[in-house]
Amino acid sequence: MDSSITSNTRNYKGNDILLAVLDMYFKGDFEMPVFKENVRLTYKELATYTGNYTSTEIPIEINITQENNVLFGQATFALQAEGGHIFTYDQAGVKLIFDPEKETMILNQGRGAFTFKRT
Range of the domain at 113: 79-119
Residue 114 covered by a domain: yes
Phi, psi of 90 (to 5 degrees): -60, -35
Residue 12 covered by a domain: no
Residue 28 covered by a domain: no
Domain count across the chain: 1
Residue 37 covered by a domain: no
One DSSP character per residue, 1-57 reads ---------SSS-HHHHHHHHHHHHHH----PPPPPPPP---HHHHHTT-EEEE-SS
Residue 117 covered by a domain: yes
Count, residues in the chain:
119
What is the value of pTM for the model shown?
Answer: 0.58
Tens of pLDDT, residue by residue over 9-62, are 666 677 777 777 787 778 777 777 777 777 888 999 999 999 999 988 878 899
